[in-house]
Amino acid sequence: MFYGRSAEKQKFNRRRNKTFLMAKQMVHQVSIEEFMEYRKKLPVFDVRSPGEYKDGHIPGANNLPLFDNEERRIIGTLYKKSGREAAVYEGLGIAGKKLQTYVKKALQLTKTKELLIHCWRGGMRSESMSWLLSTAGFRVHLLTGGYKTYRSYIRRLWEQKSELYVIAGKTGSGKTEILHFLKEKGQQVLDLEKIARHKGSAFGAIGQQQQPTNEQFENDLADHWINLDFQKPIWIEDESLHIGRVCLPDTFYWKKQASRTLLLDVPKSIRIERLTKDYAAFPKELLIESIGKITKRLGGQNAKKAVESILNDDFNTAIDIVLGYYDKAYSYDLTKKESSMIDQMDCNTSDPKIIAEDVIQKFLWDGKPEK
């Protein structure tokens, strides 16, 4: 009898070891460069907590948290008070109850049972989830260094040699629309305001979705940047360092500041007409709230008159007052650029398509901006 039990135990251990070996073989450690290639065709699973994921995540990644926010807090507190072993033991107890749930969710979001996984630093959370999914038959690619490595990687992207060409002009010049027409003409365009979900001014949030966190904005911006052809011109709109509550990466901002800039000189009357068309349809309370954000800069009397004009449906007057501040601010910002890098183009039309065609005719030759 004893021999029989021993034989069964040995048989069980062999099966278990074989399972662990097979699982280990199904987990493939990958570098950040390999990871970025794999993610073009494979789903990404971020096993950090929902709170970490919300603060910033790799665009397109699915959140498959090993621990929710409260569970992560409990384990973190235990780690500080009682050490790693106690935290690991508690984590096993929490995760052990949800193993089937993890596998089911992964199955729902994959087609070929092959996927990418990462946590914050490529530690126990991603290793544990990789082991679980690999034992369930998944082919797992585990990012070495985790999300922290990804963040370091995208910060280096802005050092990439590139040719930025900046469309500048005072508020209401139609810069965004001009970029859209340049894109239709086959030019490479990086729409910073679209990625930031904000138009840049105190009125910039009106009609937009909620802005991403600054970290997520950087991730989203990098995802667009990495897909550009750096041998060709890249057109962007002139933006300040801050777009709403998000901030351009420093390296990218100073690259923009040193780039050739096309300054559109659009008459104020045309700009007022365009801005009235863009904003008059929005609720008046939103416009008045936005004026409140710049009351000190406008001056009390000007702000009061602008609000009264909106209430009386005199949007032209309100916008004229607001532009008094923004035009001065924009002119000051231009002084921070090297004047030799600024080219000016007079624009006496409100049609952004015509202006875009003039830009191409005047500044492009054989597909490349003239020097």
**What are the domain boundaries of the chain?**
2-154, 160-369
- Give the span between the Cα atoms of 210 and 217, in whole angstroms: 12
User: Which two structure tokens, joined as six digits, stand for 147?
Assistant: 């999300």
User: Which two structure tokens, joined as six digits, stand for 367?
Assistant: 């597909």
Q: Are strands 27-30 and 62-63 parallel, antiparallel or unpaired?
A: unpaired
Active site residue 247: no
Find the DSSP H helices in 246-351. Answer: 250-257, 268-279, 284-293, 295-298, 300-311, 315-334
Q: What is the pLDDT of residue 14?
A: 53
pLDDT digits (tens, 9 = 90+) for 270-309: 999 999 999 999 999 999 999 999 999 999 999 999 999 9
Which residue's entry shows tokens 């090297």?
338
2-154: in CATH 3.40.190.10: no
Q: What is the pLDDT of residue 8?
A: 60
Q: What is the pLDDT of residue 190?
A: 97
State the amino acid at position 12 in one-letter form.
F
160-369: CATH topology: Rossmann fold (3.40.50)
Partners of 141 in beta bridges? 28, 116
Q: What is the pLDDT of residue 30?
A: 96
- Give the span between the Cα atoms of 196 and 267, in whole angstroms: 28
Q: How many CB atoms lie within 10 A of CB 70?
A: 10
Q: How many CB atoms lie within 10 A of CB 40?
A: 7
Q: Considering 119, 129, 243, 323, which one is annotated as catalytic?
A: 119
Give the mean pLDDT per block of 10 residues along the chain (371 residues): 53 47 68 96 96 97 94 87 83 85 94 94 91 93 97 96 93 92 93 95 91 98 96 94 96 94 93 93 94 93 96 96 92 86 88 86 62 51
pLDDT digits (tens, 9 = 90+) for 223-256: 999 999 999 999 999 999 999 999 999 999 999 9
Q: What is the pLDDT of residue 2?
A: 42
